[in-house]
């Protein structure tokens, strides 16, 4: 069986390649763009603490389950679920985990690509010196001008989709495994440089307090739900991306330790992004922490515009944001493409074109959310972009994660799981297994139920 599985897909050549690829998937716009702005919208410290707790209690346990299931099935999430459902003798409705993941991936990529397009646009803006000497207000105006031009947004969105499709068509192992190994360390170094600037010129102390002091009164139910949804988003969980990557993982690699490394790196990047951004936000009276999706694109350029060699460092920084987004975006379509090739109905290239086109068209909705359709509302409260984000991060990913936790925790035989996980002490294993069976499903189930309630306007 396992030989036959290995013939279809290659495996990563080492545990580290898997770590780098999964980290490449995890570290992306979620860490550098989304995390700081949703932290700002939710008032800071309390939100961060809840987010960290969610990574530990829900993110890591579910990630272990997802990797395990993937390595066990050794194919695309859809076919992996077919195999697992057969082996465990559960109703076929569980196939839904794989299918829903493919749909979620397409929706996420559709808006992800538009935002990544902003980052590419900023590479060129930075290089042209457009931000030299700007203050918060001028920076906000430059960003506003970008958003109000649909044709510019569509252009960069198309470029990013094209970049994604090329890599996916070529195959993940060939291009990405190696690229990511160079990019991720570089990103870390640049974040350290940004933090250095923030310490020197920004209000670092205020930012630190803002991010790490717990004010229970700032916490809202909505904030807690959003923190939990984001824990899934940032670790790429709940839609099969990690399951697909796990399928290419070497048999002997220890799952538990590997997952801890990935989650640790991902969290580190998010916190560093916050510590690079907020000092500048607090030092400028024109930028509000709660200014939403534009936070990264308005506040950091102020820093770059006023530091020595800022145009250069800024160009480099947005280049890295683009690359981080790139190594994530491919994991969003990989499940779909792997599935298509396994069915024999199409090549990777055909899959890339088909799914790419879907994402591109859907992405237009996000493009127009910032201009033509700015005031259009779905369910009375979301614009198109917000709805796509909400539907995936607060509903589909939690539902996917919930189902995976239930499946791995309750339907797969414990002995089988024990043999795979090799968490080296019994205590750790028992702890993980218990959390997976009881705590994670409860918490994720709550997020999912709450998401539904919001769509229907009950809360
Ligand atoms: N984790 C990525 C980020 O933080 C986004 C991402 C990539 C993702 N693949 C995913 C999110 C799969 C959910 C599911 O930017």
pLDDT at 459: 78
pLDDT at 110: 98
Quick one: which of 440, 450, 443 has its CA closest to 407? 440
Taking the centre of ligand 1 as the mean of its atom positions, its distance from the CA of residue 69, in whole angstroms, is: 18
Contact present, 262 and 22 (Cβ < 8 Å): yes
pLDDT band with cut points at 50, 70 and 90 for residue 13? confident
Nearest-atom number in ligand 1 for the CA of 28 is 15
Taking CA atoms, 79 is separated from 95, 108, 240, 304, 342, in Å, by 8, 21, 11, 47, 8
Taking the centre of ligand 1 as the mean of its atom positions, its distance from the CA of residue 48, in whole angstroms, is: 19
pLDDT at 2: 40
Ligand 1 binding pocket mutation candidate from 328, 393, 396 (most atoms within 8 A of CB): 328
Average pLDDT, the chain: 91
Output b/e per residue, 41-52; b: 16+ Cβ within 10 A: bbbbbbbbbbbb
pLDDT band with cut points at 50, 70 and 90 for residue 8? low
Taking the centre of ligand 1 as the mean of its atom positions, its distance from the CA of residue 270, in whole angstroms, is: 13
Residue tagged 């499946």 (tokens)? 407
pLDDT at 445: 94
- Tens-digit pLDDT profile for residues 310-359: 899 899 889 989 999 999 999 999 999 999 999 999 999 999 999 999 99
- Tens-digit pLDDT profile for residues 393-429: 999 999 999 999 999 999 999 988 888 776 666 888 9
pLDDT band with cut points at 50, 70 and 90 for residue 5? very low
User: 239 in ligand 1 pocket by Cβ < 6 Å?
Assistant: yes
- Please give the angle made by the CA atoms of 21, 296 and 135, to the nearest 5 degrees: 150
Q: Is the pLDDT of residue 181 over 80?
A: no
Ligand 1 binding pocket mutation candidate from 25, 31, 164 (most atoms within 8 A of CB): 25
Give the whole-angstrom CA distance, residue 48 versus residue 158. 34
User: 327 in ligand 1 pocket by Cβ < 6 Å?
Assistant: no
pLDDT at 419: 80
- Tens-digit pLDDT profile for residues 182-194: 788 888 898 998 8
pLDDT at 296: 93
Give the whole-angstrom CA distance, residue 263 versus residue 420. 19
Taking the centre of ligand 1 as the mean of its atom positions, its distance from the CA of residue 457, in whole angstroms, is: 27
Nearest-atom number in ligand 1 for the CA of 104 is 14
Task: Report percent pLDDT > 90 for the chain.
Answer: 68
Nearest-atom number in ligand 1 for the CA of 29 is 15
Give the whole-angstrom CA distance, residue 144 versus residue 141. 5
Give the whole-angstrom CA distance, residue 259 versus residue 11. 17
Residues 196-212 have a mean pLDDT of 91
Q: Is the pLDDT of residue 303 over 90?
A: no
- Tens-digit pLDDT profile for residues 90-143: 999 999 999 999 999 999 999 999 999 999 999 999 999 999 999 989 999 999
Contact present, 300 and 317 (Cβ < 8 Å): yes
pLDDT band with cut points at 50, 70 and 90 for residue 209? very high
Taking the centre of ligand 1 as the mean of its atom positions, its distance from the CA of residue 217, in whole angstroms, is: 30
Give the whole-angstrom CA distance, residue 181 versus residue 192. 18
- Tens-digit pLDDT profile for residues 220-250: 898 999 999 999 999 999 999 999 999 988 8
423: its two tokens: 């968490």
User: 362 in ligand 1 pocket by Cβ < 6 Å?
Assistant: no
User: 233 in ligand 1 pocket by Cβ < 6 Å?
Assistant: yes
Nearest-atom number in ligand 1 for the CA of 392 is 13
Q: Is the pLDDT of residue 251 over 60?
A: yes
Give the whole-angstrom CA distance, residue 384 versus residue 363. 10
Q: Is the pLDDT of residue 175 over 70?
A: no
CA 109 centroid distance within chain:
10
């Amino acid at each position: 069986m396992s030989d036959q599985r290995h013939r279809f897909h290659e495996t990563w050549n080492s545990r580290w390649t898997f770590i780098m690829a999964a980290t490449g998937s995890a570290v992306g716009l979620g860490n550098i763009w989304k995390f700081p702005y949703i932290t700002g919208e939710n008032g800071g410290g309390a939100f961060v603490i809840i987010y960290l707790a969610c990574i530990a209690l829900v993110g890591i346990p579910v990630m272990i389950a997802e990797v395990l299931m993937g390595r066990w099935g050794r194919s695309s999430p859809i076919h992996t679920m077919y195999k697992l459902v057969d082996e465990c003798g559960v109703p076929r409705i569980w196939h839904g985990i794989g299918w829903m993941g493919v749909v979620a991936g397409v929706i996420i990529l559709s808006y992800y690509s538009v935002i990544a397009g902003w980052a590419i646009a900023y590479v060129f803006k930075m290089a042209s010196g457009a931000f030299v000497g700007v203050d918060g207000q001028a920076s906000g105006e430059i960003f506003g001008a970008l958003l109000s031009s649909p044709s510019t947004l569509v252009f960069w969105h198309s470029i990013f989709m094209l970049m994604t499709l090329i890599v996916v068509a070529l195959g993940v192992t060939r291009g990405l495994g190696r690229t990511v190994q160079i990019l991720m360390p570089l990103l870390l170094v640049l974040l350290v440089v940004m933090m250095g600037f923030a310490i020197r010129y920004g209000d670092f102390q205020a930012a630190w307090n803002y991010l790490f002091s717990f004010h229970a009164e700032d916490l809202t139910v909505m904030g807690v739900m959003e923190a939990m949804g984001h824990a899934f988003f940032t670790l790429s969980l709940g839609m099969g991306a990690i399951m697909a990557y796990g399928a290419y993982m070497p048999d002997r690699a220890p799952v538990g330790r590997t997952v801890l490394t990935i989650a640790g790196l991902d969290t580190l990047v998010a916190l560093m992004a916050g510590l690079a951004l907020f000092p500048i936000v607090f030092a400028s009276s024109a930028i509000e922490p709660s200014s939403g999706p534009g936070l990264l694109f308005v506040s950091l350029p102020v820093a770059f515009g006023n530091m020595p060699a800022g145009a250069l460092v800024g160009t480099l920084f947005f280049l890295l944001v683009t690359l981080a987004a790139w190594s994530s975006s491919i994991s969003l379509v990989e499940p779909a493409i792997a599935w298509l090739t396994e069915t024999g109905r199409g090549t990777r290239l055909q899959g890339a074109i088909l799914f790419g086109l879907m994402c591109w068209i859907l992405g237009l909705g996000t493009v127009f959310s910032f201009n033509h359709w700015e005031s259009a509302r779905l369910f009375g409260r979301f614009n198109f972009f917000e709805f796509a984000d909400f539907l995936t991060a607060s509903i589909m990913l939690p539902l996917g994660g919930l189902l995976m936790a239930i499946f791995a925790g309750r339907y797969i035989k414990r002995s089988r799981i024990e043999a795979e996980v090799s968490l080296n002490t019994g205590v750790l294993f028992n702890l993980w297994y218990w959390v997976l069976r009881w705590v994670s499903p409860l918490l994720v189930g709550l997020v999912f139920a709450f998401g539904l309630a919001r769509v229907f306007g009950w809360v």
